[in-house]
């Protein structure tokens, strides 16, 4: 009798020597029956719940080729833990007249297949439930349930009992800087594809030391996957969003979302990397992108919201209300006039001329003395607000330090009076750690140089406004500058007037320009026209004519 040995162990956490141990037991059985060892088939670190194992599949293939006469294993669960697969294996071996003999059960019959198959299946289910319960316990202690998120390091400390702690994390400042950069660039209008390309070009290593891709950054907002959707970056640990089930045909895991009431959410403020304000900006842009995708039917989100040119999608014909679109290579014209013939406005304007007129007009108006004064006033107000917040924070830290020091003194007094208990040591360690944190915060704040208001604020404002065109032509700032300007405009109307087009700006930017206009009309030499306030401040929408 030619005997084939099959050996397997489940995970990489188990010892590779397990295969040799199983082989030794099976060889002892073979020698006791005067059989001859033919071949050993093994699978290392593969679950018995899957039949897609190289060694197992080779065993089936060579059984059909009559390479051996009997299959030997340590136990039936080594061959498979799935009821369907073990029954199919038994039927295949029975068809080939190949008996199955194990060290644990002896020769396998239909009774073993029914009982052991059921027991193995229940074992897997019970193991999954216990594993899930254990992971939930770790999460509720603010620890990692497995894996490490980009932006954090694994921290190993010794527990009071001398054992190594697991699941502890700390912020990796180098990676955290990249995380904040990705959030900021996306909030400012860059696409995930563009952000990933820039990081790869700079040689920045991504999660798991791999390259960056658009899915690495965005992926699936419903499941909370992708860097931009990970709430751990705002100090909130969310676990059990989804579960995994195996496709019986392919053996691959499929993610299925869990209802929100089954999620486990823990606050971990010490792991915060991204501010609430930046997180909100990203979420607002994601919401706007999804809305654009739904309304336009475009499959690729970046095409649904990102304009090709500075004012694309904002231009409207003042005659018919239709869109002003690109005609030819570089001119804008009324779409209704060209495509439907329902509008008499046949005037066109070169894209570069339109952008230059609007930007030049904006620059001149934004340099109005009243607007400069408004900028300085707003800056000072925000500076004063932040100064008050910092002062309050320092006062609060000093109060917490005083309270902590007082609690430590009480514990020391209690120990001195003979009231020692092991729990007092743990509490003392916790308070001492907290005291060090508070002292470090106060020390850092005391070494910070006071920030003074720059004496040339008005000059800085003028410089930024005058560099408006430069910001739009610089690749490093173009996306952010374009996003800011477009965000302040709801539409740009082009009205025919004596054979020329008059430009009207509609939206918040019109209201901003109105701050610097004392009368309804004033001269603007740079634009070659006049600036007229069509609707007064307080009316919606606000309109400003260049």
In a domain, 435, yes or no: yes
In a domain, 293, yes or no: no
In a domain, 416, yes or no: yes
Domain count, the chain: 4
H or E stretch including 255? strand 253-257
In a domain, 302, yes or no: no
In a domain, 463, yes or no: no
Q: pLDDT for 236-295, tens place per residue?
A: 888 777 777 766 666 677 777 788 888 788 888 888 998 988 998 888 888 887 765 555
Three state DSSP letters for 232-278: HHHCEEEECCEEEEECCCCCCEEEEECCHHHCEEEECHHHCCCCHHH
Phi, psi of 115, rounded to the nearest 5 degrees:
-75, -50
Boundary-marking domain end, from 427, 457, 487? 457
Q: Which of 5-9, 106-110, 505-509 has the lowest mean pLDDT?
A: 505-509
Candidates 304, 336, 295, 296; CA nearest to 494 is 336
Tokens coding 536: 């007064």
pLDDT at 53 over 70: yes
Q: What is the span of the domain harbouring residue 338?
A: 308-368+476-545
CB atoms within 10 A of CB 259: 7
Which residue has 């006469």 as its token pair?
69
Residues 95 and 203 grouped into a single domain: no
Residues 14 and 120 grouped into a single domain: yes
Residues 426 and 483 grouped into a single domain: no
More confident: 83 or 142? 83
**Where are any strands of DSSP class E within 30-85?**
36-44, 70-73
- d(C-alpha 340, C-alpha 333), whole Å: 13
In a domain, 74, yes or no: yes
Strand, helix or coil for residue 250: coil
H or E stretch including 102? strand 100-102
- d(C-alpha 514, C-alpha 168), whole Å: 55
Express as a percent the part of the chain with pLDDT over 70. Answer: 72
**Could you give the strand order of the β-sheet that contains 106-107, starting from the edge strand earlier in sequence?**
36-44, 2-9, 70-73, 100-102, 106-107
For residue 126, the model assigns a pLDDT of 75
- d(C-alpha 482, C-alpha 310), whole Å: 6
- d(C-alpha 209, C-alpha 219), whole Å: 18
Q: Which of 72-76, 174-178, 355-359 has the lowest mean pLDDT?
A: 355-359
- d(C-alpha 348, C-alpha 327), whole Å: 8
Q: Which of 29-38, 258-267, 438-447, 470-479 has the lowest mean pLDDT?
A: 470-479
Residues 506 and 357 grouped into a single domain: yes
For residue 298, the model assigns a pLDDT of 47
Which residue has 């001492």 as its token pair?
432
Residues 419 and 453 grouped into a single domain: yes
Residues 18 and 66 grouped into a single domain: yes
- d(C-alpha 331, C-alpha 360), whole Å: 19
CB atoms within 10 A of CB 6: 27
Q: What is the pTM of this model?
A: 0.44
In a domain, 204, yes or no: yes
Boundary-marking domain end, from 286, 319, 351? 286
Residues 113 and 165 grouped into a single domain: no
Q: pLDDT for 356-405, tens place per residue?
A: 887 777 766 666 666 667 766 777 777 777 777 777 888 888 888 888 88
In a domain, 373, yes or no: no
Strands 106-107 and 152-155: unpaired
Q: Are 545 and 532 in contact (CB under 8 A)?
A: yes
Rg (CA), the chain: 35
Strands 521-524 and 529-533: antiparallel
Candidates 65, 72, 62; CA nearest to 108 is 72
Residues 80 and 221 grouped into a single domain: no
Residues 361 and 503 grouped into a single domain: yes
């Amino acid at each position: 009798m030619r005997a084939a040995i099959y050996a397997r162990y489940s995970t990489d956490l188990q010892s590779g020597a397990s295969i040799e141990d199983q082989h030794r037991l099976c060889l002892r059985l073979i020698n006791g029956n005067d059989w001859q060892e033919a071949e050993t088939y093994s699978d290392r670190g593969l679950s018995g719940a899957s039949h897609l194992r190289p060694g197992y599949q080779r065993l089936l293939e060579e059984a059909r080729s009559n390479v051996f006469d009997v299959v030997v294993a340590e136990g039936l669960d080594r061959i498979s833990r799935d009821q369907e697969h073990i029954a199919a294996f038994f039927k295949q071996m029975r068809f080939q007249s190949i008996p199955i003999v194990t060290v644990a059960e002896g020769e396998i019959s239909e009774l073993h297949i029914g009982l052991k198959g059921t027991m193995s299946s229940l074992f897997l289910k019970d193991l999954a439930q216990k594993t899930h319960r254990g992971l939930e316990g770790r999460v509720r202690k603010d620890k990692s349930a497995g894996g490490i998120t980009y932006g954090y390091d694994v921290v190993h400390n010794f527990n009071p009992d001398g054992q190594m702690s697991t699941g502890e994390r700390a912020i990796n400042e180098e990676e955290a800087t990249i995380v904040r950069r990705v959030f900021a660039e996306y909030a400012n209008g860059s696409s995930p594809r563009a952000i990933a390309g820039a990081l790869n070009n700079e040689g920045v290593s991504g999660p798991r030391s791999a390259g960056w891709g658009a899915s690495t950054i965005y992926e699936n907002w419903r499941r909370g996957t992708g860097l931009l959707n990970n709430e751990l970056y705002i100090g909130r640990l969310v676990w059990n969003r989804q579960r995994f089930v195996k496709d019986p045909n392919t053996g691959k895991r499929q993610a299925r979302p869990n209802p929100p009431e089954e999620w486990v959410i823990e606050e971990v403020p010490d792991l915060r990397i991204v501010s609430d304000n930046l997180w909100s900006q990203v979420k607002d842009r994601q919401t706007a992108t999804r809305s654009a995708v739904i309304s336009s039917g475009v499959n690729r989100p970046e095409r649904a919201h990102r304009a090709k040119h500075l004012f694309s999608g904002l231009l409207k014909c003042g005659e018919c209300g239709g869109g002003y679109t690109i005609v030819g290579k570089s001119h804008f014209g009324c779409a209704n006039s060209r495509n439907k013939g329902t509008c008499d406005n046949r005037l066109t304007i070169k894209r570069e001329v339109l952008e230059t007129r609007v930007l030049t007009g904006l620059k001149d108006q934004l340099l109005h003395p009243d607007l400069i004064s408004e900028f300085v006033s707003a800056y000072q107000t925000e500076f004063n607000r932040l100064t008050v917040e910092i002062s309050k924070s320092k006062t609060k830290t000093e109060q917490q330090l005083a309270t902590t020091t007082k609690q430590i003194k009480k514990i020391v007094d209690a120990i001195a009076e003979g009231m020692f208990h092991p729990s007092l040591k743990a509490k003392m360690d916790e308070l001492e750690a907290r005291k060090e944190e508070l002292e470090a915060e106060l020390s850092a704040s005391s070494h910070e140089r006071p920030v003074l208001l720059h004496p040339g604020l008005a000059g800085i404002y003028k410089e930024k406004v005058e560099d408006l065109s430069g910001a739009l032509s610089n690749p490093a700032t173009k996306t952010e500058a374009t996003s800011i300007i477009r965000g302040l405009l709801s539409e740009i109307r082009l009205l025919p007037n004596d054979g020329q087009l008059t430009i009207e700006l509609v939206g918040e930017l019109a209201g901003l320009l109105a701050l610097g206009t004392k009368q309804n009309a004033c001269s603007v030499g740079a634009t070659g026209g006049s600036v007229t306030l069509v609707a007064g401040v307080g009316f919606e929408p606000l309109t400003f004519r260049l």
